[in-house]
Amino acid sequence: MNILITGGAGFVGQRLAMECLQRGNLQLDGKPSPPITKILLADNAEPPFWHDGLREHPLVTSSFGDISDEAYVKSLFAEEIHAVFHLASIVSGHGETDFDLAMRVNLDGTRYLFEATRAQQNNARVVFTSSVAAFGGDAMPDTVSDYSKQTPMTTYGMTKVIGELLVNDYSRKGFFDGRSARLPTVIVRPGKPNLAASSFVSGLFREPLNGEPCVIPVDPSQLMPVLGYRSIINGIIKLAELPAADLGTDRGVGLPAFNATVQELMDALKNVAGNRHLGEHILKKDDTIAKICAGWPQQADTARGIELGLPIEDSIEDIVANYIEDYLEGAST
């Protein structure tokens, strides 16, 4: 089995590759797939760091190019691909400042990828990573679910909604067997902040644990659906493995999430930190980021994802403890 991960050099992409390698195969429709023979990590540039041993793993190949270049995308399919995890995207804050880039990467790039997958005619399994930013607007309910109307208030969210619709239609037409994983905010990401408006959410854990201050650009009462990276990875894989009949005609599924205020996230850090010296949280509102976050869903009803068996940690404290174990006390495995 050959696997393609776009955005494969990023944090989630690398951890997804590592988890697939550890498992050795996928359990598609309840049955083991052939062993994984190749994982192709495609991204626009070399990452700041590779997780331990991933770059040198004999089953891992990397490719760097522009996903909005149709010829480059086609080159990724020189060998038959059996499963595609499409993570590559211009994120929220970046998409708001560069509309044209977001359109090229998030829309054109996604369509090129889907067309290249379709051309194989092998009914490949495809997982597209969407976002809770797919929801928004004046009529957005206090709690959104898989059945809420999608009226996003960011360019990023708009492109995610279109991606979800493409997955539904390409699957309906039998071009591939697709699913959309609607992600909440992923915590805790290591490394440096990215250009996502929600980047501070990981920072409010990461920087204080490094003994550094973290600026909080929103009010502490701001609600946000969040989920730990271990459950994000395992949820994406689980969604890929589910039988199509379990999903029906709507292939977009919200991953389970905790609905927490920023204050509750900061409190969870203090609950887990113990005797560690923590850097301080500095409350300094950024109107642009605050507006974007306020336009996203404040709470998510993810009962459908839970019913489908997608994972979630027991508590936010568990998420923080996992990060400390993986990135502060042990190897990033």
Amino acid occupying residue 159:
T
Cα–Cα distances (Å) from 326 to 17, 123, 230, in that order, read 16, 36, 10
Residue/partner pairs of 17-26 with CB below 8 Å, 24 or more apart: 17/41, 17/54, 17/60, 18/51, 18/54, 18/333, 19/233, 19/234, 19/237, 20/237, 21/54, 21/57, 21/59, 21/60, 23/237, 25/1, 26/1, 26/83, 26/125, 26/237, 26/240, 26/241
By DSSP bridging, strand 223-228 and strand 143-144 are unpaired
Q: Which residue has the tokens 């393609």?
A: 4
CA 321 distance to own-chain centroid: 20
Q: Which residue in 70, 180, 62 sits closest to 115, CA to CA?
A: 70
Return the sign of the alpha-carbon dihedral for residues 188, 218, 197, 259: positive
Given 112, 156, 170, 229, which residue is catalytic?
156
CA 50 distance to own-chain centroid: 18
Q: Is 156 a catalytic residue?
A: yes
Transcribe 160-175 into DSSP letters: HHHHHHHHHHHHHTTS
Quickly count: other Cβ atoms within 10 Å of residue 45's Cβ.
Answer: 8
By DSSP bridging, strand 27-28 and strand 31-32 are antiparallel
Which residues participate in catalysis according to the annotation? 156
